[in-house]
Amino acid sequence: MAVSPPVCDFGWKAPAFTLPGTDGRDWSLDAVRGPKGTLVMFICNHCPYVQSVIDRIVRDARDLKTLGIGVAAISANDAAEYPADSFDNMAREAAKHAFPFPYLYDESQSVAKAYGATCTPDFFGFDADLGLRYRGRLDASGRQPAAPDVKRELYEAMRQVAETGHGPADQVPSMGCSIKWKAA
């Protein structure tokens, strides 16, 4: 079932975290933080929404890094119920797509809960002081192939954050599969 996150809570501060990455290293928010902003995205391996846009996510992450935006992806899905989202499969996914960002595993799901993440993909774009400035979608194409002229909404919003410290006033929420929470 497709879900959408709430609208951007401008200025909300990014919760700190330290999580294991598929590269064998532990990553903290400070370690991924960029001098002009930080993008934290919640993704997973099996979600058809993520799979349909993963090449565009990788492209935008590469381009954002050149603007001084730090980028990290986090998977928080229950891997016991969704084995495709296991840590080993995350490592394969990161290698397959040559992720230019750390891919982190939130096994306890505490980071996803602290962020209020609701779906995959769910994008959190922060300014240099880690205040939330963007909680929108990648682009208008959703799960469909992107038209050659589709506006790169995430990239443009984060470019604006890098240049001005502010995100766009009007944002369209992302849409994707719900995060697969562990049974209580």
Domain of residue 85, CATH code = 3.40.30.10
Strand pairing class (2-3; 176-178): antiparallel
Cis peptide before 100 (omega within 30 of 0): no
Q: Is the pLDDT of residue 5 over 90?
A: no
pLDDT at 7: 75
Count of domains in the chain?
1
> Hunting for tokens 């400070």 — which residue is that?
30
Q: Are 158 and 61 in contact (CB under 8 A)?
A: no
pLDDT at 184: 74
For residue 183, is it within any domain? no
For residue 48, is it within any domain? yes
Helix (H) or strand (E) holding 146: none
For residue 26, is it within any domain? yes
Who has greater pLDDT, 149 or 51? 51
Max CA distance (Å), the chain: 44
Contacts of 156 (CB under 8 A, 6+ apart): 168
For residue 39, is it within any domain? yes
pTM for the full predicted model: 0.95
Percent pLDDT > 70 in the chain is 99
Helix (H) or strand (E) holding 93: helix 87-96
Reported as a pLDDT band with limits 50, 70 and 90, residue 51 is very high
Domain residue limits at 136: 2-178
For residue 62, is it within any domain? yes
Query: Sheet holding 37-42: strands in order across?
Result: 103-105, 69-75, 37-42, 122-126, 132-134
**Average of per-residue pLDDT across 155-179:** 95
Distance CA 120, CA 12 (A): 20
For residue 184, is it within any domain? no
